[in-house]
Structure 1
Amino acid sequence: MALEAEVWSDIKPVPLDDGPDPLAPIAYDAEYSEAMGYFRAISQRDERSERALKLTERIIEYNPAHYTIWHYRQQILFSLNKNLSEELDFVKEQIESNPKNYQLWHHRQVLVEKLMDASCELPFINEILNDDAKNYHAWTYRQWIIRTFNLWENELDFVNKLLDKDVRNNSAWNQRYFTLFFNPTKPTEEFLTQEIEYVIEKIKMAPNNISPWNYIKGIIAKSNKDIGILEELCKEIEKQDIISPHAIGCLVDIYESRARKGSATDKEEGIRICTLLAEKHDAIRKKYWEYRKVILTSL
C-alpha cells in the first residue's frame, strides 16, 4: 500500500545509496523502498510526529526485524508520551506472528522497563511457550522479567509442570537451574538432597537426554555431595541394557574423582571406560574421551 501523498508532500525521500558499484544490490519491494526513503528523510531531521510513528508501523509490516526502525519508534513513543500499554498490545500481536524475532522482544523489554509494570508479562510469555516450549527469546525475556521484578515465588512450580509434560524440555531444565541459583534466596542442603532425588527419577525416564545429567552434576557441584552418589543410578541403567553415553560418561567422572584420591583400581576402570566410549558408545566425541584418558593416565 503506497503512502498518502498529501501527508508527505513537504518531504523529499532520500534514496538508498549503496555506492557507485554495489556488489549484490537487494531488489527491495517498491513500496518498502518508498517508505524507507521517507524514513531516511525524517530521521535526518529527527522528526518525532504522528506521521513518523505511522511510518515506522508501515515499515515494520514489511520488515519486523528492522532494529533501527524499532529504536526510532521508541524515541517517538516517548517524545509524544504515547500510551505504552497500547504499544504492548501492538507488540503482542507482532510477537504472536514472529515469536522468534529478537527485535520484538527487545522492544517489549524497553517498554516494560519504562512502565515498570510486569503484571501482564508472565501470562503472555506462558502463551508463547505453550506454542513453543523451547523459544529461546521467550525464555531469555522471562529470566529478565523474573530478575528485574523479583517474581521467583511460583517459577519452580511452572518448571515442574513443563517437565511433567515433557521431560526432554532442555529449556525447562536450564530454567530450573536459573530459578534455584540465581534466586537471591539460595536453596538449602536439605532442598538440594531432595532435588537430586527428583532429577534421578527424571533421568530414569529418559537416560539419553543430556540436560538432566548436566543439571544434576551442577546441583552436586553446588552442594556438599559427592558425585559417587550417582554410581547406583548409572549401573542400574547399565543393567537394563540401555546404552547411555551420559550414564557411562558419568562413571568416568566418578572413577576419576576416586583416582584423584589415590584409588588405582578406579583409575584403571576409568581408563577402560574412556576407551569404550571413544571406540564404541560415543565415537563422535572420540578426541574428548581420549583427552579424559590422558588425564586419568597422568594421575
Structure 2
Amino acid sequence: MHNVKRVPHSQEAIQARKERERSQIVEYLALTNNVLSRKKTRDWSRDAFDQTQQLLELNPEFYTIWNYRRNIILNGIFPQSTPEENNDLLANELSMTMAALREHPKVYWIWNHRRWCLENVPDGPVVDGKPSLQWRKANWQRELAVVEKMLDADARNFLAWNYRRYVLASMPEQRPVMTELAYTTRKISASFSNFSAWHQRSKVYSSLWNTGELDPIQSREEEFDLVHNALFTDPDDQSAWIYHRWLIGSGENEEQLRQEIAIIEELLGEQPDSKWCMDSLVYYCRLLLKNHGPDSEDIKQKCYDLLQQLERIDVPRKLRYQEIGQGM
C-alpha cells in the first residue's frame, strides 16, 4: 500500500519461508515420482486418478499427467461404471477444468482436456431410437456460454478464441454466421487491439464469401470503414494493420489499392513517425508496381524515401528495409 513503511523481515522469518519452500518442493517431487511410477505400471485405479488431480492442481501444464488421467478414465473407470456414472464423472471433469481455467486461462492442456471430455460425454437420453437433439443443443449452448464468459474476462485470450471455433463447429445446429460477425464487432469495438477478434472476423468473412452469403466486393468496401476507424484511432497498433493487409489480399483491385494508399498517406500526414503507416505504404506501393505495371519512378522513389525513414526509426529491422530496397 502507498505511504506504508515496509518492515524488513527478520532472519528467522526468511529462514522459515525458505524451509516451507523446500518442503513444498520435496512434496511436489515425491508426488510427481509416485504418479509417474503408477503411470509406468499402468495403474488405472481411483487412487491414481485422485493423485493426478493433486499433481495437476500444482502444475496444470504437466501434459503427460493429463494424458495419464484420460487413460485412467478410459481403461479403469469407464469399464466398471454405468453410463450415468460416466456422465457424472465427465461433468465433474468439466467442473474441474472450469476451476482450473479461472486460475490458468492460458494453459492449453486444460482447454484440451475440456474438449476431450465433451467429445466423450454420452449423447444423453434416447428419443425414438435416436439421441435427443434438444439435449445435445443445450449441452453445446451451455459450452458456448462458458467460453463467452472466459472471453469477457480476457477478450484477447487466443486459446479461448480457438476453443470458441471448436464449439461453434461442434454445435448440432450451426449458428447463423452473421451472429458471429456481430460478436466480433462488439469485441473489436471494445478494443481495436484485439488481434484474436480480428482473426476470428477474417474466418467469418471467408465463410460468408465462400458460401455466397455476402458479396465480397461490397462487403470489403464496408469493412474498410471499420478498419480505417481503428487505424486512425491507434496507428501504432499492429492488429488492425494486419487485418487491413488481409482485406487487401493480393492487391488485384487497382482502384481499391490506390484508394487505400491515399488514405494511409493522409494518416501519415497526421502521424509522420508512424512505422506501420510507412511500412504499409511501401508494401502496397510494391503491390501496385507488381500487379498493375505502372513503371513509375515516382512510386519507386517514394518507397526508397520511406525505407530510409524506417531504417532510422526502426533500427532493429534496418537490414530488412535495406533488403526490400535492393529488391525493387
* TM-score interval, normalised by the smaller of the two chains: 0.7 to 0.9
**Matched residue type, 2:156:** K
Residue 276 of structure 1 pairs with residue 309 of structure 2: yes
Check whether the contact 2:66–2:109 (CA below 8 A) recurs between aligned residues.
Answer: yes
Check whether the contact 1:258–1:267 (CA below 8 A) recurs between aligned residues.
Answer: no
Q: How does 1:178-257 map to 2 (within 5 A)?
A: 178-181=203-206, 185=211, 187-189=214-216, 190-221=218-249, 224-226=252-254, 227-257=257-287
Q: Which residue of 1 aligns with 2:62?
A: 66
Q: Which residue of 1 aligns with 2:297?
A: 264
Q: 2 CA distance for matches of 1:30 and 1:90?
A: 25
Q: 2 CA distance for matches of 1:156 and 1:35?
A: 47
**Matched residue type, 2:261:** E
Q: Which residue of 2 aligns with 1:109?
A: 115
Q: Which has the higher mean CA deviation after the structures are superposed, 202-211 or 235-244?
A: 235-244
- Tell me the secondary structure at the aligned position of residue 119 of structure 1: helix
Q: Offset at 1:91?
A: 0.8
Q: 1 CA distance for matches of 2:283 and 2:32?
A: 58
- Tell me the secondary structure at the aligned position of residue 65 of structure 1: coil
**Matched residue type, 1:240:** E
Q: Offset at 1:92?
A: 0.4
Q: Offset at 1:206?
A: 1.2
Q: How does 1:26-65 map to 2 (within 5 A)?
A: 29-65=25-61
- Tell me the secondary structure at the aligned position of residue 140 of structure 2: coil
RMSD: 2.6
**Matched residue type, 1:272:** D
Distance 1:277 1:29, change over 3 A: closer
Cα deviation 1:152-195 (Å, max 9, x = unaligned): 63222221111111111222222222332367636532212211
Q: What is the TM-score of this pair, normalised by structure 2? A: 0.73
- Bigger helix share: 2
Q: In the comparison of the two structures, how many residue pairs are matched?
A: 270
Q: Which residue of 1 aligns with 2:192?
A: 167
**Matched residue type, 1:169:** N
**Matched residue type, 1:48:** W
Q: 1 CA distance for matches of 2:302 and 2:289?
A: 10
Pairing partner for 1:90 from 67, 79, 96 = 96
Q: 2 CA distance for matches of 1:254 and 1:90?
A: 49
Q: Which residue of 2 aligns with 1:288?
A: 320
Fraction of identical pairs, as percent: 23
Distance 1:33 1:206, change over 3 A: closer
**Matched residue type, 1:56:** T
Q: 1 CA distance for matches of 2:111 and 2:224?
A: 34
**Matched residue type, 2:233:** M
Q: 2 CA distance for matches of 1:44 and 1:289?
A: 54
Q: Which residue of 2 aligns with 1:131?
A: 153
Distance 1:92 1:264, change over 3 A: same
Distance 1:221 1:54, change over 3 A: same
Q: Which residue of 2 aligns with 1:20?
A: none
Cα deviation 1:110-155 (Å, max 9, x = unaligned): 1122237533322222222222222232223223333444556322
Pairing partner for 2:72 from 76, 93, 97 = 76
Q: 1 CA distance for matches of 2:272 and 2:299?
A: 23
Check whether the contact 2:156–2:195 (CA below 8 A) recurs between aligned residues.
Answer: yes
Check whether the contact 1:152–1:179 (CA below 8 A) recurs between aligned residues.
Answer: no
Gaps of 5+ in 1: 1-25
Distance 1:241 1:67, change over 3 A: closer
Q: 1 CA distance for matches of 2:63 and 2:266?
A: 52
Check whether the contact 1:199–1:216 (CA below 8 A) recurs between aligned residues.
Answer: yes
**Matched residue type, 2:215:** T
Q: 1 CA distance for matches of 2:299 and 2:41?
A: 73
Q: What is the TM-score of this pair, normalised by structure 1? A: 0.79
Q: Which residue of 2 aligns with 1:18?
A: none
Q: 1 CA distance for matches of 2:273 and 2:39?
A: 61
Q: 1 CA distance for matches of 2:60 and 2:286?
A: 51
**Matched residue type, 1:275:** Q
- Tell me the secondary structure at the aligned position of residue 99 of structure 1: coil
- Tell me the secondary structure at the aligned position of residue 277 of structure 1: helix
Q: Offset at 1:218?
A: 1.0
Check whether the contact 2:168–2:175 (CA below 8 A) recurs between aligned residues.
Answer: yes
